[in-house]
Structure 1
């Protein structure tokens, strides 16, 4: 009996929650949310369902844990990477989330769901804390911190979510260049009298870089925060290239 207990403990320790979450992320990356089943997970980990249920109660908890693990890695800044000033760190965190959702397309849906259904959860609070600390470091008054941070977070999640959606159709990856070319070609055929602006920016749509456009949006929001809430003379200028 003692031997059986020790073996069970060793199996539980070997099959850690971290290993389960890592395997879940791999399944989500390969086949999306539909591909994450406990049966697929047990096959990947070469274990029984009971060992997995020891660590996670259900698929919902597993999705939350997978999203949290990816987000935690995305917002963790390495000391030598970003510029020390808060604007540079905000851009680095935002770009980390952009790249994470680009690499893990399923994450966009999970973030949107968690932001609306459980804003008290670890994923939402982790993102708000990471951005909010740096907004405070900018010198934004306490009474405006929530609004300024919310504007940044909503822009980040909305933009990266849209970018992820534009790279996949019916769950299949779409070449970004081909997608932009198709959009531009369709816009070129619009009536110039009804859509003068849309026709005028066709070439910009076809040739733009998603990451550069995303960071430009961050700069727009930071410039607005500077103008509204920071003492005159302070600016959130982009770091030198």
Structure 2
């Protein structure tokens, strides 16, 4: 056996799947999906493409693994000893913050994560929905509503961040939009003109929390806990 052949197993062990995924997350954060190539990844990890392909078959698998790693870390931060409602709130906020920190995750959650990541989220939310006293026959519907709110709001927030771009002044942007709303036709947009100032002053994270509180309050109202 050649010296190169003897070294290969040791090299494969050192370059773990976890290390590859961690590097991929960093590259996605820095440059988005377009910046993640196997060539750039091999340079970052100072290895050859064969060592990476030993662990990851293609870019699609790598994107799915990176997405799942971010989501799994967010779900792991769930607090102990809280009520089911508090746990859902914390889980939701953790996912919102994770997508906010890794904007590329939003697109992956809707594109390539149904086999692993979405069931992970559904399971995490669903266990607490069932613990809230929701009847079994309503578990799927209620959990779907909660998950759709979380992922939808997080994705919209990520899209807004991408529109603004790095280094943009969010306050300045909201002020311009608010002013544009206030100048709309008062007959056609009476409501929008009224809330224009609220839009200017709103905080995205707090608005998300207020939304999840509304969803949870609705679940509790329709399905009050036993006793």
Q: TM-score range by the shorter chain?
A: over 0.9
2:66 is the counterpart of 1:66: yes
The CA deviation at 1:231 is 4.3
State the match for 2:101 in structure 1.
103
State the match for 2:121 in structure 1.
127
Cα distance in 2 between the residues matched to 1:175 and 1:93: 29
Q: 1:163 to 1:170 in 2, by over 3 A?
A: closer
CA offset digits 1:94-119 (Å, max 9, x no partner): 001110011000011111223xxx63
Cα distance in 2 between the residues matched to 1:219 and 1:91: 7
2:208 is the counterpart of 1:210: no
Q: CA RMSD in A?
A: 1.8
Question: Given the two structures, how large is their TM-score scaled by the length of structure 1?
Answer: 0.89
Work out whether residues 133 and 226 of structure 2, in 8 Å CA contact, stay in contact via their aligned partners in 1. no
Cα distance in 2 between the residues matched to 1:211 and 1:227: 24
CA offset digits 1:162-207 (Å, max 9, x no partner): 0111111286564322332222121111111210100000111010
Work out whether residues 71 and 100 of structure 1, in 8 Å CA contact, stay in contact via their aligned partners in 2. yes
Cα distance in 2 between the residues matched to 1:17 and 1:175: 38
SS state at 1:140 partner: coil
Q: What does 1:141-220 correspond to in 2, within 5 Å?
A: 141-169=135-163, 172=166, 174-220=168-214
The CA deviation at 1:161 is 0.6
CA offset digits 1:182-237 (Å, max 9, x no partner): 2212111111121010000011101011111101110111111111122477xxxx
Work out whether residues 29 and 106 of structure 1, in 8 Å CA contact, stay in contact via their aligned partners in 2. yes
Work out whether residues 132 and 225 of structure 2, in 8 Å CA contact, stay in contact via their aligned partners in 1. no
Aligned residues: 227
Cα distance in 1 between the residues matched to 2:220 and 2:204: 24
Q: 1:62 to 1:74 in 2, by over 3 A?
A: same
Work out whether residues 75 and 93 of structure 1, in 8 Å CA contact, stay in contact via their aligned partners in 2. yes
Cα distance in 2 between the residues matched to 1:146 and 1:173: 41
